[in-house]
Each structure stands twice: as structure tokens, then as C-alpha cells.
Structure 1
Amino acid sequence: MEAFRRLDLAASALGNHEFDWTVDTLRARIRQAPYAILGANVRFTDGRAVPWLRADTIVRRGGLRVGVVGLATTETPTTTRAANVRGLRFDSLAPVIDAHARALRARGADVVIVVAHSGAFCDRPAPGESTPTCRGEIVDVARALHEKVDAIVSGHTHSLVNTVVNGIPIVQARSSGRALGVVDLSLEGGAPTIDVREVVADSAGPVPPAIDSVVRRAVAAVASRVNRRIADVADDMPRESDEQYALGNLLADAQRWAGRGDVAIMNNGGIRADLRHGVATYGSLFEIQPFGNTLYKITVRGRDLRGYFEKLVSGGPRVRMHTSGVLVTFDPSRPAGSRLVSLTTADGRPLDDDRLYTMVLNDFLVTGGDGVDLARRATAVTPLNIVDLDALVGYLGTLPQPVRAPSEERFRVAGASQ
């Protein structure tokens, strides 16, 4: 927040990760912010407005009144800890935008800008066309709008969005400061121009002293912990797209080891950086698992575990989860709900529908994160009071050095070459 103060921000949208450290922490950051943090579609579950959260604002620049409405994705309840958003609901975006666009113009706004933590993915333009084909929540929202909106600044999917939908320019500048989204609007009614410009480090210039001093203090405060050597890594283990990969296997193995479970599951959305070969420090491991998720051990019957894996493979050949302690073979050409061909546990035996198995999950998944909830069918749910990062640090210390990548595919498509 100290760095944000120096960037002279005017407004921002509330995102799912703003809830990662509980509502109390979010409210403390909102009180600190000298700019508007907006969540127009966030309400209490009984429909009441949330008194500590603003919906919109009017920013004045050079005589121009810019109305800004901010929104959070409707996916928020399943993309952050469920406990952290208990008592809140996240309404559909388009009706909320329409209502606030009307209200902002009635209050004198010359233009209306939407900032939405809601995203899309775009393909490259077809030959002979200049506009890409895009799909996703914010595209559907733009199509559904009836009131005039001058531009949408998108987020959440960490992707390149540079398009016009329903006459509205939409930009999303990837993630992590790798690009800048630029929209030029004509106040005389001309067509807008839009661009997403890649940030090239060697052309960015020196860091302003006001920002550099903040960063240096923060780095110095945690340097002794961040630089602590944990393990040596033999191979790069990159975070891939939607496929199975070695780093996900390693994290699932670490959690099964820490929880002494039969099976473990690691969600790909919780993996945030690559593991590079060479020395793995506490800081580099923190980059991979920064959320501080805690682990749970649940006890379930084999038939319920089988049903859980059926849900995991229901989306097609790509599975956005990693597992440890079980080998899953499935056929994506079969109807959803009957795609499992075999489930084999670590001891080489087929899964027994009547046997009880222990499963290690993080608290995000235990509470229904990513829309797959197994805990309701569990015969026991036990908090382990182990943070996922601590599990990884401890597990790496037990492995032969340098650590090798566990690259075997654990979700296998039937008939595919291994």
C-alpha cells in the first residue's frame, strides 16, 4: 500500500485475492488507501449494501469528470477461501454496471469507465481481420450492457485482452506489470484507440527514488528468511498451463508426506511460480506457494473418492489438479460421470469402494474451492495446522540432493502413449 500511494492511482477493482487474508485485513488496507477500492456487485447475502466498500467514484482530471465503477468476478466465492467471503454475495456484473453507469452520468460524469476483476482469453485475429476473437466473463458482460460505457479495464485471467465488444473497448494487460493497457477516448465522438504495450525492462528507466526506497526497506526486512537455503534442485520445474507437470506432482507429494495421507490433491491455481534449478531458497519457494493455505486431512470411503476423481476429469483431457498416492486413468470420450477407467493406489492396488482412505487437501479445496467439494462426504475432517509452504520446505529436506523432478503423468488418458 505504501508503494501504491506513490503511484497516484485513481481507482481499483476489488479482486478475489483481496480476500486472501480475511475481510478484517482487507478493510484495514481500504482504510489506508488514498484511492478508491471499488466492489459495486459485492453485497451481504441478505442483499444489504456493504458499508465499508465503495461501489463507484468520480475522478476529476483537467475539468473532465470520469465516472468509475469497480466490480469483482462472480467466481470469487470459488477462487478464494470460502470462509473469507462468508456472508457476502457477488452479483451478476452487467445489471450492476448498467445501474451505476446511469447514476454516474446523472451525477455529472462525462465518461464512464469500468474496472473489473473479471477476465477473458483472446485468440489471434483471423486472416484479414483486426479484432481478435475473445471469450470469457467480461466479454459476456460487455455484450449484455444497455447503458453507455466508454471503456472496460479487465483483470483476473492474467491474459492479453485488446478488443472491442458491443462498441466498448476492453483491455487487460497480462499480469505482474508485464504490460500496460492504453485506451484513448475521443470526447468528440470519434472511434477509440486501444493498445496493450509490452514493458521492456531495459527501456523502463530507473526506479523512481520514492518507490525504490519502499522496495529496499521491504527487502531488507525479510532478507534473512527469504535467502535461507532449503534445497538443491537438479532440473527446472516450470509451472505449465493446464497440463500435468512435475512441479504440481512435487507439491502434491509434499502435502501427502506432511499429512501422512493415502492421497493428496494440489490445485494448479495455487501454484504461482516456477521452481528453478540450482539453490532453492525460502523466498523462491514462497513465490510458488504464497497464499499460506493450511492443510487438512479428511477420511472418505473409496466410492466417494472415486466420485471426486470423476468430477476432476469431467472437463475433458486436461485436468487442473495434481495428485499424489494414486494413478488415475480416464477416457474423456465417455459421458461425464463415467470417465474413470482405473484408479490405482500407491501400493499398486485398485481403489476399494468400501475402504476408508485419508486424503490431504489445503483449506481452499476443503471448503469447496474450484467448485469441487469432497469434505461434505467425509467421515472425519481434521485440521493439521500445517501451512502448505512449510510442508514443501520440510519435504524437500527429506529428499536426496539435488532434488529430481517427479515427472510421471498421474492423470493418464486411456490409450495415450506414455
Structure 2
Amino acid sequence: YVVNYEFRDSVEVITEWVPKVKDAGADIIIALTHLGSWQDKEGNITGEAADLCAVDGVDAVISAHTHQSVSGLVNDKPLVQAYKYGRSFAKLTFIFDENNRLVSAEPFLDHLYARADTLKDDTNMLAIYRKIEEEVKPISEKVLGKTTVDLDHDRYAGPSLLGEWTCEIMKDAAGVQIGMTNGGGLRCPIPAGEITIGKLYEVMPFDNTLYTMKLSGADVKANIEHGILNEDIGWVQISGVRAVYNPEAEAGNRITSMVLEDGTPIEMDKYYTVVTNDFMFTGGDKYNFENSIDSLDTFIPIRDAMMEAVEKAGVISPVKQNWLSEEKVGKLYVVQVGDSLWEIAQKFGTTVEKILACNEIANSRLIRPGQEILIPTD
């Protein structure tokens, strides 16, 4: 629990401080913050940091937290965020007249990672890094187990095997029905091979903990909906609940069906046991668990649960369960005696490859009379 600190609205606080800073003699005011921001393809900037640009007296804002590349103007005031981990460099240029009055201000973002080959190491910093690296090697290089498959992950690409595996571990560790985590909390995939402590720290560098609760079906749906096709934060990752969505539907109303692992339909007014991470529970990435009951921070780091699961299993071979999947549109066909997929494809004017993908059939020869398959209509 946090004591002796008051968490206030950022706009309210900076509005109070602007006149104090001006009275102290400041010519301009730059808000150096850890408030988040996003910038879309059209250059529009949103987020808490952007809200500060509406405050009179604030001349520029430096943003953070959301690990985004942001450089632009909000209310004619520059706002920048330099991506993450020193991979970009943001610059604000101010021009004053002879009376020390601000004439113009411009933002600039240099993507250092795109020209890494032109950068030189700082010898002092490199020496410090190498020293610490050697000190932690006995821990970071300890092998916990191995995976026989690649655990892929890209927060913006969709539900991933790494995401499902992580949620399954969370669900089992908490002893609940449903697990969910934010795609942005998983920072890199795990390639097939040995899994070390260091690799799991790369995957989850944050000390996020397991947060359990009871959540209504309506709120389970709302939170999953929030993480579908969300270009700002990426995809939600889930397990224990099978949700099917229509990508063409409007945001917030995409899920067409939702059932538990045993096939029981999720009821909107019924409560289910759920685990997420403390970041999401407290509103991170704008997820909303305010209506939950019996909520509890277990203070068990998710990374520790992952380590324990790998070490206990020794060898893992996760299989994608597609807990969150796109609704398949097509015609239902019942396989007849003597049918082959090639003949069925010819009959409906499609391809064997499309039928295989639509039905997740691994072997085109393994179909049987009476089997129902979906014929894609696109």
C-alpha cells in the first residue's frame, strides 16, 4: 500500500504550478512527465500528456510511459515521446526574440535504432554495463527448462502462443477460470530451445503480480473487447474462455460468442473467477475492472510463476488453443463417402488451402464421412 502520497489529476496540478513557476522567473514552461501519449497515422496526438497542452502557460510537453514514437503539435504546442529504452532521441527547439519572448517551438524525433551503425559506444557506460553483465551471468544464464516450439509474440499481430501460455500459467497459479494479460506486458517471443532466467526477464521485465477477482460476464466481455484490434495498446491475451469475434463489427461490439473451457456459455450477469496483472487491474492500458468483487493482489510476481512452471515441467510444448479467434464465415458442408478436399474445393469454387486454413485441418487426407467442414465464401 502507498502512504504519504496523493495522486491528483495532472491537468489540475500543472494548472496550479504554472503561475508559481512564472512568478519565479521562468521564460517558458516545459512539462517533463511520465504521462502517456499516442500518435495516429494522421499525426493526431492523444493521451494524458496531450491534455496538458490545453493548459495556459505550458509551452511544451515531454511524454513517456506508453513507449510510443510521438512528435507533433497539440494546440500549437510541441509534444514529444522518444519511443523506449533509448532507441530514439527527442529534441525540442525554441526560438526567442530579443526580449526573451518565445517566438516558435518545434519538435523533432531521431530514430537512433534506424541508424545504429552510425552510433559509437560510450566507453565509460559500456564498461559499467559489461561489469554488471558479468556479475549477473550466473543467475541470468541459469537454464530452467526448454521449449520444443517457438513461443511467438507480437502485441499488434494478434493473440499469440506466448500470450496463451502465459495466461494459462497465470490461471493455473491463481486457481481460477479465466486468465487475461495485456500483450504489451510481454516484451519478446521465446525461441525453441533452452529457457533461462534471463530470457524470462526479457519477456517480462516488469514485476507485475497476479491479481484475482470475481468478474461479471459483461465485464469479462468488455475487457476482452477492449483488447481486440486495438492499434494503441495491442491485443489482449486470454485463456480459459473461448471468444469469437467479428473484425468487421464496431469496436466494443465485436464478440459474437463466448464460452468457458468446458463449452458453458458465458452469462452476462453471472460472475466468474478471473486473474489478470496488477497493471491492468489498476487501469493500465485503459482496461476496467472497477466492477469486480473479492479482488485481491496476491503479490505473486507473474514472472516467478512462469519460472516455476518451466522448471517443474522441464520441457514444454505448448499448442495454440485459439482462445480468441476470428469468426469464420462460410457454408457448412457434411463430408460424404468418397469425398476428397480437392473435389469439395472444386465443387464450391475455392481452394484446398483455403478450406484447410478455415477449418484448421492439418492433413488434407484426414477427413471422414459425416465430418462438418466450413467452406469459405470469400
- TM-score higher than 0.5 here? yes
Question: Do 2:210 and 2:301's aligned partners in 1 also have CA atoms closer than 8 Å?
Answer: yes
Q: CA–CA distance in 1 between the matches of 2:252 and 2:88?
A: 41
Q: Choose which of 71, 85, 107 in structure 2 pairs with 1:162.
A: 71
Q: 1:364 offset after TM fit, Å?
A: 4.3
Q: CA–CA distance in 2 between the matches of 1:85 and 1:276?
A: 42
Q: 1:115 offset after TM fit, Å?
A: 1.0
Question: Do 1:310 and 1:338's aligned partners in 2 also have CA atoms closer than 8 Å?
Answer: no
Q: CA–CA distance in 1 between the matches of 2:16 and 2:271?
A: 52
Instruction: Give the match for residue 49 of structure 2.
Output: 138
Q: CA–CA distance in 2 between the matches of 1:305 and 1:401?
A: 36
Deviations 1:67-104 (A, max 9, x none): xxxxxxxxxxxxxxxx44896222142x5334433322
Deviations 1:305-363 (A, max 9, x none): 41232221444843743222221235578899986543322233434789885433444
Q: 1:178 offset after TM fit, Å?
A: 0.7
Q: CA–CA distance in 2 between the matches of 1:175 and 1:222?
A: 23
Q: Choose which of 185, 191, 197 in structure 1 pairs with 2:104.
A: 191
Q: CA–CA distance in 2 between the matches of 1:155 and 1:114?
A: 11
Any idea what SS the aligned residue of 1:192 has?
strand
Q: 1:174 offset after TM fit, Å?
A: 0.9
Corresponding letter in the other structure for 1:163: G
Deviations 1:352-400 (A, max 9, x none): 789885433444455665543278434xx67656431121122234558
Q: CA–CA distance in 2 between the matches of 1:337 and 1:100?
A: 38
Q: Which structure 2 residues correspond to residues 14-413 of structure 1 after superposition, within 5 A? A: 83-84=1-2, 88-93=6-11, 95-124=12-41, 132-142=43-53, 144-147=54-57, 149=59, 151-188=60-97, 189-199=102-112, 200-209=115-124, 211-233=125-147, 234-235=149-150, 237-241=152-156, 243-298=158-213, 300=214, 304-315=215-226, 317-318=228-229, 320-330=235-245, 341-351=256-266, 358-365=273-280, 370-373=286-289, 376-378=292-294, 386-397=300-311, 401=315, 403-404=317-318, 406-413=319-326
Q: Identity of aligned pairs, percent?
A: 24
Question: Do 2:139 and 2:198's aligned partners in 1 also have CA atoms closer than 8 Å?
Answer: yes
Deviations 1:161-186 (A, max 9, x none): 11122232222111111110112211
Question: Do 1:343 and 1:350's aligned partners in 2 also have CA atoms closer than 8 Å?
Answer: yes
Q: CA–CA distance in 1 between the matches of 2:106 and 2:253?
A: 49
Any idea what SS the aligned residue of 1:89 has?
coil
Q: CA–CA distance in 1 between the matches of 2:157 and 2:51?
A: 23
Q: CA–CA distance in 2 between the matches of 1:186 and 1:259?
A: 56
Q: Name structure 1 gaps, 5 residues minimum.
A: 1-82, 126-131
User: CA 1:366/1:124 → structure 2, altered by over 3 Å: closer, same or farther?
Assistant: closer
Corresponding letter in the other structure for 2:57: E
Q: CA–CA distance in 1 between the matches of 2:251 and 2:71?
A: 35
Question: Do 1:313 and 1:330's aligned partners in 2 also have CA atoms closer than 8 Å?
Answer: no
Q: CA–CA distance in 1 between the matches of 2:155 and 2:126?
A: 32
Q: CA–CA distance in 2 between the matches of 1:294 and 1:148?
A: 37
Q: 1:402 offset after TM fit, Å?
A: 5.9
User: CA 1:267/1:194 → structure 2, altered by over 3 Å: closer, same or farther?
Assistant: closer
Any idea what SS the aligned residue of 1:119 has?
coil
Q: 1:265 offset after TM fit, Å?
A: 2.1
Q: 1:206 offset after TM fit, Å?
A: 2.2
Q: CA–CA distance in 2 between the matches of 1:212 and 1:324?
A: 42
TM-score by length of 1: 0.64
Q: How many residues align?
A: 319
Q: CA–CA distance in 2 between the matches of 1:296 and 1:118?
A: 24
Q: CA RMSD in A?
A: 3.5
